Amino acid sequence: MRLKIVQAGEPVLRQKARALEADEIHNPELQRLIGWMRDTMRDAPGVGLAAPQVGLPFQLAVIEDRPEYSRDLAAQVLAERERRPVEFHALINPSIVQRSEEQVEFFEGCLSVAGFSALVKRSRAVTVEYLDEHGSSRRVEAQGWYARILQHEIDHLNGHLYIDRMERRSFTNLENLGRHWNNLNVAQVRAALSITD
């Protein structure tokens, strides 16, 4: 089943999602929802999807960065972004418990701000504690692109969109991202757009 992904302007995207209780986590309906969110994310395609993006105000996100999503990217781009495949997993009630001081900036998009992208600074590394789909406690230390995905999805659970953190001068539609900016590194983009720190 494919779920409808709501777009910017829907109130649910701007509300802090509520935590899920143990009995809800073990409910077969939640397990079905996780499967539907996985299918919806893959169909989009995307690398993450949070429950508020499908209109549900609770602390649940799914993440998967499949190898085929980055097969057309140059090795230099993959290395710069520290991007590697991430297996499918669900995060329930996640919390960032540690962030690196070092930040990195790349173009970022969102299934709920369809058709657009912008430069967003995020911590290069994060440590996240969460419950998995079985209610077991998990802790992950992530860096690079995976850390970015985690921060993006956890932002959704707190009522934030990437546009709240973006470099405004870099905001672009996806057609122009491909035509003008995709083959440039971040320093070149910032110079071309006259962006200063």
Return the active site residues.
Answer: 153
Tell me how far apart the 2 most distant CA atoms of the chain are, in Å. Answer: 53
Is residue 136 within 8 Å of residue 31, measured between CB atoms? no
- Compute the residue count for the chain: 197
Handedness of CA 165, 168, 174, 180 (dihedral sign): negative
Question: Cis link prior to 85 (omega < 30° from 0)?
Answer: no
* Strands of the chain, DSSP E: 48-50, 60-65, 86-99, 103-109, 116-123, 125-131, 137-143, 172-173
Q: Which two structure tokens, joined as six digits, stand for 163? A: 């546009």
> Which residues make beta-bridge pairs with 121?
105
For 49, half-sphere exposure in the C-beta direction (CA atoms, 13 angstrom radius) is 29
Strand, coil or helix: what is 4?
coil
Measured CA distances, 181 to 106, 113, 171, 190, 193 (Å): 11, 19, 11, 10, 10
